Amino acid sequence: MMMTTSRRSSSIVLFLASIAVSSFFATAVSAFAPIKSSSRSLHQRSFHHHNKSPSSSTTSLSSSRDKAEQYLSTTYPQFYYLLQQNPTALNLMRNSKSGFTLFAPSNDSIAAYPCNLLSAACNNEDMQPVIAKMASYHIVNAPMSVELLGRYGVASTPGGELTTTVVQHDDDGGGVIMFENGVSVIESYEFQDELVQNVQDGNGNLVESSSVGGGKTCIVHEVDGFVCPEGLW
Protein backbone atom coordinates (compact mmCIF):
# COMPACT_ATOMS: atom_id res chain seq x y z
CA MET A 1 0.00 0.00 0.00
CA MET A 2 2.86 2.34 0.88
CA MET A 3 4.59 1.40 -2.41
CA THR A 4 1.52 2.25 -4.44
CA THR A 5 1.16 5.60 -2.75
CA SER A 6 4.83 6.41 -3.38
CA ARG A 7 4.55 5.54 -7.04
CA ARG A 8 1.46 7.72 -7.38
CA SER A 9 3.22 10.61 -5.69
CA SER A 10 6.18 10.26 -8.07
CA SER A 11 3.85 10.24 -11.07
CA ILE A 12 2.15 13.41 -9.88
CA VAL A 13 5.51 15.14 -9.36
CA LEU A 14 6.69 14.17 -12.85
CA PHE A 15 3.39 15.33 -14.37
CA LEU A 16 3.64 18.74 -12.67
CA ALA A 17 7.27 19.06 -13.68
CA SER A 18 6.41 18.40 -17.32
CA ILE A 19 3.70 21.08 -17.21
CA ALA A 20 6.18 23.58 -15.77
CA VAL A 21 8.76 22.77 -18.46
CA SER A 22 6.12 23.10 -21.19
CA SER A 23 5.01 26.49 -19.82
CA PHE A 24 8.63 27.68 -19.72
CA PHE A 25 9.29 26.79 -23.34
CA ALA A 26 5.97 28.29 -24.45
CA THR A 27 6.85 31.56 -22.73
CA ALA A 28 10.34 31.56 -24.24
CA VAL A 29 9.03 30.93 -27.75
CA SER A 30 6.36 33.62 -27.46
CA ALA A 31 9.01 36.14 -26.42
CA PHE A 32 10.75 35.70 -29.76
CA ALA A 33 7.57 35.53 -31.83
CA PRO A 34 6.68 38.70 -33.88
CA ILE A 35 3.98 40.88 -32.41
CA LYS A 36 1.26 41.08 -35.02
CA SER A 37 -0.10 44.44 -33.98
CA SER A 38 3.33 46.12 -34.13
CA SER A 39 4.07 44.58 -37.49
CA ARG A 40 0.75 45.78 -38.83
CA SER A 41 1.36 49.26 -37.40
CA LEU A 42 4.79 49.45 -39.03
CA HIS A 43 3.27 48.36 -42.30
CA GLN A 44 0.62 51.04 -42.06
CA ARG A 45 3.20 53.72 -41.28
CA SER A 46 5.31 52.60 -44.19
CA PHE A 47 2.28 52.68 -46.43
CA HIS A 48 1.38 56.23 -45.42
CA HIS A 49 4.99 57.36 -45.83
CA HIS A 50 4.97 56.39 -49.49
CA ASN A 51 1.60 57.98 -50.18
CA LYS A 52 2.03 61.59 -49.10
CA SER A 53 -0.03 64.21 -50.86
CA PRO A 54 1.62 66.32 -53.58
CA SER A 55 2.88 69.75 -52.49
CA SER A 56 3.64 73.01 -54.26
CA SER A 57 5.87 76.01 -53.63
CA THR A 58 6.42 79.34 -55.36
CA THR A 59 9.86 80.66 -56.28
CA SER A 60 10.73 84.18 -57.43
CA LEU A 61 13.03 84.27 -60.45
CA SER A 62 13.29 88.05 -60.61
CA SER A 63 12.04 91.03 -58.62
CA SER A 64 10.01 93.80 -60.24
CA ARG A 65 11.34 96.23 -57.64
CA ASP A 66 14.95 95.45 -58.49
CA LYS A 67 14.27 95.71 -62.22
CA ALA A 68 12.48 99.04 -61.81
CA GLU A 69 15.25 100.53 -59.68
CA GLN A 70 17.91 99.29 -62.08
CA TYR A 71 16.03 100.91 -64.94
CA LEU A 72 15.73 104.18 -63.00
CA SER A 73 19.42 104.31 -62.11
CA THR A 74 20.49 103.88 -65.73
CA THR A 75 17.76 105.80 -67.59
CA TYR A 76 16.84 108.54 -65.11
CA PRO A 77 19.95 108.97 -62.93
CA GLN A 78 19.15 112.53 -61.86
CA PHE A 79 15.65 111.60 -60.75
CA TYR A 80 16.97 108.49 -58.98
CA TYR A 81 19.36 110.75 -57.11
CA LEU A 82 16.37 112.91 -56.13
CA LEU A 83 14.58 109.84 -54.69
CA GLN A 84 17.59 108.99 -52.58
CA GLN A 85 17.25 112.33 -50.82
CA ASN A 86 14.12 111.00 -49.11
CA PRO A 87 15.04 107.63 -47.55
CA THR A 88 11.72 107.38 -45.71
CA ALA A 89 9.63 107.63 -48.87
CA LEU A 90 12.05 105.36 -50.73
CA ASN A 91 11.83 102.63 -48.09
CA LEU A 92 8.05 102.95 -47.99
CA MET A 93 8.02 102.41 -51.74
CA ARG A 94 10.33 99.41 -51.55
CA ASN A 95 8.30 97.72 -48.83
CA SER A 96 4.95 98.04 -50.59
CA LYS A 97 3.29 94.60 -50.83
CA SER A 98 1.63 95.19 -54.20
CA GLY A 99 4.26 97.32 -55.94
CA PHE A 100 4.62 101.03 -56.67
CA THR A 101 4.38 103.80 -59.23
CA LEU A 102 7.01 106.42 -60.00
CA PHE A 103 6.68 109.65 -61.96
CA ALA A 104 10.17 110.04 -63.38
CA PRO A 105 11.16 113.33 -65.05
CA SER A 106 13.58 112.77 -67.91
CA ASN A 107 17.11 114.14 -67.67
CA ASP A 108 16.35 116.68 -70.41
CA SER A 109 13.28 117.99 -68.59
CA ILE A 110 15.25 118.40 -65.37
CA ALA A 111 18.06 120.18 -67.20
CA ALA A 112 15.50 122.58 -68.71
CA TYR A 113 14.74 124.09 -65.31
CA PRO A 114 16.51 127.43 -64.76
CA CYS A 115 19.95 127.41 -63.12
CA ASN A 116 19.93 123.61 -62.95
CA LEU A 117 17.47 123.69 -60.06
CA LEU A 118 18.02 120.12 -58.85
CA SER A 119 21.82 120.34 -58.58
CA ALA A 120 21.69 123.72 -56.89
CA ALA A 121 19.08 122.57 -54.39
CA CYS A 122 20.88 119.33 -53.55
CA ASN A 123 24.07 121.26 -52.78
CA ASN A 124 22.27 123.61 -50.42
CA GLU A 125 21.64 122.18 -46.94
CA ASP A 126 18.80 124.61 -46.35
CA MET A 127 17.02 123.15 -49.39
CA GLN A 128 17.23 119.52 -48.26
CA PRO A 129 13.71 119.49 -46.75
CA VAL A 130 12.38 120.91 -50.02
CA ILE A 131 14.19 118.25 -52.06
CA ALA A 132 12.82 115.50 -49.81
CA LYS A 133 9.29 116.89 -50.22
CA MET A 134 9.72 117.05 -54.01
CA ALA A 135 10.77 113.40 -54.08
CA SER A 136 7.75 112.32 -52.03
CA TYR A 137 5.36 113.72 -54.66
CA HIS A 138 6.76 111.36 -57.29
CA ILE A 139 5.96 108.09 -55.49
CA VAL A 140 2.71 106.14 -55.23
CA ASN A 141 2.82 103.08 -52.97
CA ALA A 142 0.69 101.00 -55.35
CA PRO A 143 0.81 100.22 -59.07
CA MET A 144 -1.22 102.77 -61.08
CA SER A 145 -1.41 102.37 -64.82
CA VAL A 146 -2.30 105.19 -67.20
CA GLU A 147 -5.85 103.81 -67.33
CA LEU A 148 -6.19 104.03 -63.54
CA LEU A 149 -4.75 107.56 -63.46
CA GLY A 150 -7.35 108.61 -66.00
CA ARG A 151 -10.22 106.74 -64.34
CA TYR A 152 -9.71 108.01 -60.78
CA GLY A 153 -8.34 111.46 -61.63
CA VAL A 154 -6.08 111.50 -58.58
CA ALA A 155 -2.80 109.98 -57.43
CA SER A 156 -2.13 109.71 -53.68
CA THR A 157 1.53 110.24 -52.83
CA PRO A 158 3.37 110.60 -49.49
CA GLY A 159 3.64 114.31 -50.28
CA GLY A 160 -0.05 114.80 -51.03
CA GLU A 161 -2.68 114.18 -53.67
CA LEU A 162 -2.07 115.00 -57.33
CA THR A 163 -4.98 115.70 -59.65
CA THR A 164 -4.80 114.07 -63.08
CA THR A 165 -6.89 114.60 -66.19
CA VAL A 166 -7.04 113.00 -69.62
CA VAL A 167 -6.26 115.49 -72.37
CA GLN A 168 -7.51 114.46 -75.80
CA HIS A 169 -5.36 114.59 -78.94
CA ASP A 170 -7.08 115.81 -82.08
CA ASP A 171 -4.76 113.82 -84.35
CA ASP A 172 -5.48 110.23 -83.33
CA GLY A 173 -8.36 110.63 -80.91
CA GLY A 174 -6.25 109.27 -78.06
CA GLY A 175 -5.48 110.93 -74.76
CA VAL A 176 -2.58 111.73 -72.50
CA ILE A 177 -2.46 112.03 -68.72
CA MET A 178 -1.77 115.58 -67.56
CA PHE A 179 -1.16 116.75 -63.99
CA GLU A 180 -2.59 119.92 -62.51
CA ASN A 181 0.66 121.83 -63.06
CA GLY A 182 0.65 121.02 -66.79
CA VAL A 183 3.19 118.16 -66.72
CA SER A 184 2.25 115.19 -68.93
CA VAL A 185 3.01 111.48 -69.03
CA ILE A 186 5.22 110.76 -72.04
CA GLU A 187 5.80 107.01 -71.78
CA SER A 188 5.07 104.21 -69.32
CA TYR A 189 7.08 101.11 -68.40
CA GLU A 190 5.79 98.17 -66.37
CA PHE A 191 7.85 95.61 -64.45
CA GLN A 192 6.43 92.45 -62.92
CA ASP A 193 7.74 89.74 -60.61
CA GLU A 194 8.60 86.50 -62.40
CA LEU A 195 7.18 83.69 -60.27
CA VAL A 196 7.38 79.94 -60.85
CA GLN A 197 5.21 77.35 -59.09
CA ASN A 198 6.91 73.99 -58.48
CA VAL A 199 4.73 70.90 -57.92
CA GLN A 200 6.29 67.92 -56.11
CA ASP A 201 4.96 64.41 -55.54
CA GLY A 202 4.75 62.74 -52.14
CA ASN A 203 8.40 61.69 -52.30
CA GLY A 204 9.66 65.20 -53.00
CA ASN A 205 10.31 64.67 -56.72
CA LEU A 206 9.67 67.64 -59.01
CA VAL A 207 6.66 66.89 -61.21
CA GLU A 208 5.90 70.22 -62.88
CA SER A 209 7.00 73.87 -63.03
CA SER A 210 4.93 76.68 -64.48
CA SER A 211 4.85 80.48 -64.49
CA VAL A 212 2.22 82.06 -62.24
CA GLY A 213 0.97 85.55 -61.55
CA GLY A 214 0.24 87.29 -58.28
CA GLY A 215 3.55 89.05 -57.71
CA LYS A 216 4.33 92.74 -57.41
CA THR A 217 3.93 95.21 -60.27
CA CYS A 218 6.11 98.32 -60.49
CA ILE A 219 5.33 101.08 -62.98
CA VAL A 220 7.52 103.95 -64.14
CA HIS A 221 5.78 106.83 -65.91
CA GLU A 222 8.20 109.13 -67.71
CA VAL A 223 6.98 112.72 -67.36
CA ASP A 224 8.17 115.97 -68.92
CA GLY A 225 8.76 117.78 -65.63
CA PHE A 226 8.33 117.65 -61.86
CA VAL A 227 4.77 116.77 -60.87
CA CYS A 228 5.02 118.38 -57.44
CA PRO A 229 3.42 121.80 -56.86
CA GLU A 230 5.67 124.61 -58.10
CA GLY A 231 5.11 126.49 -54.85
CA LEU A 232 7.60 124.16 -53.16
CA TRP A 233 10.48 126.15 -54.60
Under the phi-then-psi rule, with left for phi > 0, alpha for psi from -120 to 50, and beta for the rest, what region is 120?
alpha
Tens digits of per-residue pLDDT, 93-112? 889 889 999 999 998 888 88
- Interval 15-29 mean pLDDT: 49
What rounded mean pLDDT belongs to the chain?
A: 77
Question: Computed from CA positions of residues 25, 28, 29, 35, in that sequence, does the dihedral angle turn out positive or negative?
Answer: positive
Better-scored residue on pLDDT, 135 or 117:
135
> Do residues 69 and 77 make contact, with C-beta atoms less than 8 angstroms apart?
no
Q: pLDDT, tens digit, for every residue of 181-205?
A: 999 999 999 999 887 777 777 777 7
Is 121:127 a contact under the CB 8 Å cutoff? Answer: yes
Q: Give the confidence band of 150 by pLDDT, cuts at 50, 70, 90.
A: very high
Bridge pairing between strands 217-223 and 99-105: parallel
- Determine how many CB atoms are found less than 10 A away from the CB of residue 79: 26
Asked whether the predicted pLDDT for residue 148 surpasses 80, the reply is yes
Considering the entire predicted model, what is its pTM? 0.68
pLDDT at 40: 46
pLDDT score at 66: 92
